[in-house]
Amino acid sequence: MDNHTTIIIGAGIAGMAAGCYLQMNGYDTMIMEAGALPGGLCTGWKRKGYYFDGCISWLVGSGPNNTFHKFWSELNVIQNMEFVNDEEFAVVNFKDGTKFTLYADVDKLEQELLRVAPEDAALIKILTDAIKVISSVDLRIDKAPELFDLSDFQAFKAKAGEYMEVMKKWGSVTIEEFALQFKSEFVRTNYRKIFWFNVDTAVAYFMATMGWVNAKASGYPVDSSMQLSRIIEQRYMGLGGKIHYQSKVSRILTAEDKVTGVELDNGRIYHADLVISAADGYSTIFEMLEGKYADDDLKYCYENFSTKAAQIYVGLGISRTFDDMPHYMSLELEQPLRANGDSKADNLFVKIFNKHPGFAPKGKTSVVVYAKTSNGYWENLKETDPRQYDEQKKAVADEIIDLLEARLGKIRENIEVVDVSTPHTIKRYTNNRNGSWMGWEKQMDNIMQEKKLKRSLPGLANFYMIGHWTQVGGGLPSVVLQARNLVQVLCKENGQVFSTTIGESSPGVSSRG
């Protein structure tokens, strides 16, 4: 086998996963990472004794009844992280003091829906039956779909028939369309809150997420997102991979429509047989490759697809405990946040890290509050009036602290640390376009045209793209899947059998926070 030298751009989860699978299969790889840390968006940060987690709310594959469980084991994650499956996925708190609980257990969820919408028993059963189907099927897909032969398709159909029926039937119905079939006035008024996700996405996505949660296959870690990134970094380096930090790629080098290497922004040139970009899609296609290999489909996507709605994050170090509170909840507001630019966000999402021993000193708690915001507002403010940008960050935090005080009590007097990040922060640290935290919005218009996005660029050899810009709807499992599938295809093209190994428990990387 040729020992292909491969350069991967970006040490996010996609880039590091690709590196791991390539190293497992004898490729000689190095990763060029613009920043100083592994993980890209899968991150968190320490401030004055507190740790603020910037990523995982749920990880599909954390439990054994799911395809992704094996992949996370290959990357050493399962062996080195502890996950929790709470009774409630999330709790919605309405402004009048009432609640709706999105129970993880589908039977409890059914009861909760019947409580608020007894007249919709038939529709609720359709929903919960679909969730049960998703829960009951462990697809265990090991092979990249690109490599399926007839027998693979037949085996998949036999295993996934019911699952695929759910996805097919509900994949083109939005959450909003589904919710508006309810007769219940409560659901018709509040579906944007109780269905939790963007209501323009397919209801199949809600069914799938709740199905995995019901199967205890999608919990959240008591360790940090940064820890997950460190584990995969160590796995990659243990397999012989090398990461060059603070090495921003400015150009992807080509000769006769073949990629030959990369140039860093300090002028250093590295040659390679293959280059895989796991970095921001726009900057890869239109800056590093100067748009030379963008066809009409790609131009269409980058001109028309909406990117994931931006969010503002406020990390609060609070010197009290929240033992009786759910980990994940939303608070409906009387009116949209005032200090949040032109955004009309009337919902706060609150994550209380009360099961996470390393996140705060004893007797204290790390809390992250986030809300939708406008990327343009913060970008513009940062550029035109940096001082006002800082003031506005403080104003948002102040407003949020007041709101928490009113709703939860004993907040303001116990605040020890406040840390605010905006979409501009995401752009600055990871270069993701529009400060997007998950690539493209998982929204019906985008979903319907997803095929226009590509993993390789027309007319350019020795080059591939992976990561959350190469499909609609990102997320950690899907970027790992893309990386794994790509390496399978490369192995096949190279006449090699794709093989993987399961990592080991590594005490050296298991410190929390």
Ligand X SMILES: Cc1cc2nc3c(=O)[nH]c(=O)nc-3n(C[C@H](O)[C@H](O)[C@H](O)COP(=O)(O)OP(=O)(O)OC[C@H]3O[C@@H](n4cnc5c(N)ncnc54)[C@H](O)[C@@H]3O)c2cc1C
Tell me 284's DSSP state.
I
DSSP run (H or E) holding 129: helix 121-136
Q: Which residues contact 425 (CB under 8 A, 6 or more apart)?
A: 435
Specify the DSSP class assigned to residue 96. Answer: T
Residues 335-394 that bind ligand X (CB under 6 A): none
The runs of H, that is alpha helices, within 137-184 are: 150-170, 175-179
CA 111/CA 477 separation, integer angstroms = 30
**Is 77 near ligand X (CB under 6 A)?**
no
Stretch of 8-16, 132-140, 455-463, 496-504 contacting ligand X, by CB under 6 A: 8-16
Q: Are 231 and 73 in contact (CB under 8 A)?
A: no
Query: Interface residues for ligand X in 110-139 (CB under 6 A)?
Result: none
DSSP string, 50-85: EEEE-S-S-EETSSSSSHHHHHHHHTTHHHH--EE-
Determine, following the binding rule CB under 6 A, whether residue 261 of this chain makes contact with ligand X.
no
Report in angstroms how near the CB of residue 453 gets to ligand X at its nearest.
13
Asked if 243 interacts with ligand X (CB under 6 A), we say no
**Token output for 344:** 């009309």
Q: Reduced to 3 states, what is the DSSP secondary structure of residue 491?
A: helix
Determine the residue type at 124.
Answer: I
Q: Does 248 bind ligand X (CB under 6 A)?
A: yes
Q: How far is the CB of 154 from ligand X (least distance, A)?
A: 31
Size of the site for ligand X (CB under 6 A): 38
Here's the x/- map for ligand X, 263-302, by CB under 6 A: it reads as: ---------------xxx--x-------------------
Shortest Å, Cβ 196 to ligand X: 12
The side-by-side arrangement of strands in the sheet containing 249-255 is 249-255, 258-264, 269-271
For 360-373, letters b (16+ CB in 10 Å) and e give beeebbbbbbbbbb
Q: Is 18 in the site for ligand X (CB under 6 A)?
A: no
* Residue 365 vs 421, nearer CB to ligand X: 421
Give the nearest distance from C-beta 301 to ligand X in angstroms.
Answer: 16
Give residues 429-468 in contact with ligand X (rule: CB under 6 A).
430-432, 437-438, 467-468
Binding of ligand X by 22 (CB under 6 A): no
Verify binding: residue 35, ligand X, rule CB under 6 A: yes
Residues with Cβ < 8 Å from 493, sequence gap 6 or more?
none
**Among 18, 56, 127, 403, interactor with ligand X by CB under 6 A:** 56
Alpha carbon of 40 to those of 87, 124, 362, 497: distances in Å?
A: 30, 39, 29, 30
Residue holding tokens 């059914």?
110
Residue 11 binds to ligand X (criterion: CB under 6 A): yes
Query: Least distance in Å: CB of 333 to ligand X?
Result: 20
Of 6, 7, 8, 12, which lies in the binding site for ligand X, with binding defined by CB under 6 A?
12
Is the Cβ–Cβ distance between 60 and 68 less than 8 Å? yes
Nearer to ligand X, 10 or 211 (CB): 10
The yes or no reply on residue 91 touching ligand X (CB under 6 A) is: no
Q: Binding string, 467-496, against ligand X, x = CB under 6 A?
A: xx-----xxxx-x-----------------
Backbone angles phi, psi at 494, to 5 degrees: -90, 5
Choosing from 41, 134, 285, 472, the residue that interacts with ligand X (CB under 6 A) is 41
Q: Indicate the residue among 326 and 475 with the shorter CB distance to ligand X.
A: 475
Are the C-beta atoms of residues 25 and 3 closer than 8 Å to each other? no
Among 22, 23, 33, 210, binds ligand X (CB under 6 A): 33
When asked if residue 227 is in the footprint of ligand X (CB under 6 A), the reply is: no
- Among the listed ranges 44-52, 56-64, 131-139, 326-334, the one in contact with ligand X (CB under 6 A) is 56-64
Binding site for ligand X (CB under 6 A): 9-15, 32-35, 40-42, 54-59, 248-249, 278-280, 283, 430-432, 437-438, 467-468, 474-477, 479
